[in-house]
Chain A
Amino acid sequence: MSRIVEYTCIICPSGCLLRVEAEENRVVKVEGAGCPRGVEYAKQEFSDPMRIVFTVVRVRNGELPTVSVKTTRPIPKNKVFNLMKMLASIELEAPVEIGEIIVGDAYGAEVVATRRVGRREPVAG
């Protein structure tokens, strides 16, 4: 039994409409992709959807109270909220530099800082 599933590609702003033909749980054909990345995306989305996670993490003694972070690669979509919960429990000490690793292994990705947060100058007195 073959079936057709449609996705909109999220890899680039073109947003190609992808038609995936699958037999059992196997992709046999992908139509509509403007580039090979779209074909890859369609296969991945069919078997195990993945997303990059962007959020912020608390910072102590920083010029700002948060630092933005991202996963270095997509993680399984159904793990996104688990990771969010874990990140909500973290508090870093300033300074934080861009690229600094915040979590070493988050479902196969690293979580790294994407903003520089300097240390807050102590207030005199």
Chain B
Amino acid sequence: MIEQKYDVIIIGGGPAGLSAAAKAVENGLKTLLLENREMLGGIPFQCVHTGFGIHCFKEDLTGGEFIARLIDRAVEKGVETMVKTHVLKIQVYSALEKTVYAASPKGFLKIQAKAIIYAAGARERHQYEIGLAGDRPDGVYTAGEAQALMDVYGVLPGKKIVIIGSGDVGLIMARRLAMERAEVKAVIEVLPYPGGLTRNIVQCLNDFNIPLYLSHMVREVKGSERVEKVIVTRVGEDMKPDGSFEFELECDTVIVSAGLKPDVDILEKIGVETDPATGGPVVNEFYETSVPLVFTAGNALVVNDLVDYDVEQGEAAATHALKLLGDYLSPRLEWRRVERGRNIRLIVPQLVSGSKDVVFYSRVQYPEDNVRLTIRETGFEKRFFKVKPAEMIRIMIPAEELAKARRGKITFEVVR
């Protein structure tokens, strides 16, 4: 057993973790970054398409180009990293004493840290979470698995594909598979509107004549060894089959692209409070969870749709870690709880003090035009021409505004 001591251990070597690590080292903290895959980079590493770094590098980079810059920056700063290192458990002894247990090629590790920044990302919702019934043959993948197979390991997952879910990941995979001459039979979406951006409907589906079935679900997968077909059925407003229309699609592969969920099992085991709206931890304006000096950032905090937000959250978490490490004994601030009002599906951070400017990240429940985002207790409002669940709202609210809410809570809502 190898034992070492650090100021901060960062769990996860994707955009948020790499950014947090570079910032933590810059801030003079003794830092270790742990990554469980064989390479640093997280999900952007396996993304061949562009759309990365538009804000933070002012360039439209591919996933690989983008993440290489973050890796280079972390290396330049002298971040100590370990790959193929899987964190098994965290133990918290006191505010400044934590132990991370991990399995690595060097053996079993027991590493001491004062603070932890948990940036292990999100996991994909799988077939059993979306109620996909029927046989259990080979050939059912999540979108991320299919992407890694194709674009990292060079293996085409199948020839005749049905994709469940019309989020951007599902749409982008439809295009990639069509480009590689797989036959993408259809994209099936249970909601009455597409999950992804309109431009991805155009360039990923329409360009390749891939049909999109809205208000439909795959009711059943059939196949003895490999997937043979799926049964698609129309759903009503309650998102349950309404019995009006049903058809079969012959296919050898089903790709589930049903959204992401912050992967926080390890944090829940140390008693971190979670938010059912985000699936991630409840955090204060320092991205600190309910366990002191355990921070989160990136998709482990909230599923972001721009990687720039993961970078921003990672860097912020590292700066907050420095601040709170220096001042962990001072009395804790009194928190105002951030509440979700009309047409707000989720919002982070969930606790604010009113003494610091805060950047909020939020998603609406359903699309609306010509609305105002308001804070009920302070009278704050901002106009939006259009809000959609697929497009996260990022908004900075100054401390003075937050301080106006005196009754211990701050309610965001979308009003017409």
Contact = CB atoms under 8 A, between A and B. Distances in A.
Interface residues of B, number: 28
B48 A98 contact: no
B199 A54 contact: no
Given A15-B199, A51-B203, A68 B62 contact: yes
Nearest to A83: B179
A58 B154 contact: yes
B179 A115 contact: no
Contacts, number: 76
B68 interface: yes
Interface string A80-103: 110010000000000000100000
A77 B207 contact: yes
B246 interface: no
Contacts of A9: 199
Given A8-B198, A9-B199, A55-B180, 10 more contacts: A8-B201, A15-B197, A15-B198, A15-B199, A64-B153, A68-B64, A81-B181, A115-B45, A115-B62, A115-B68
A54 B48 contact: yes
Given A66-B154, A98-B68, A51 B197 contact: no
Nearest to A67: B64
Contact of A80 (B65, B176, B179): B179
A69 B404 CA distance: 52
B151 interface: yes
A7 B45 CA distance: 31
Interface of A: 7-13, 15, 51-56, 58, 63-66, 68-70, 77, 80-81, 84, 98, 114-116
Contacts of A58: 154
A79 B358 CA distance: 48
Nearest to B305: A13
Contact of A65 (B154, B176, B180, B181): B154
B48 A116 contact: no
Interface in B223-248: none
Contacts of B39: 63-64
B397 interface: no
A107 to B, nearest CB: 15
Contact of B202 (A8, A54, A64): A8
Interface centre among B150, B197, B199, B203 (most CB of A within 10 A): B199
Given A54-B62, A66-B153, A70-B62, A10 B180 contact: no
B127 interface: no
A70 B199 contact: no
B50 interface: yes
Contacts of B197: 13, 15
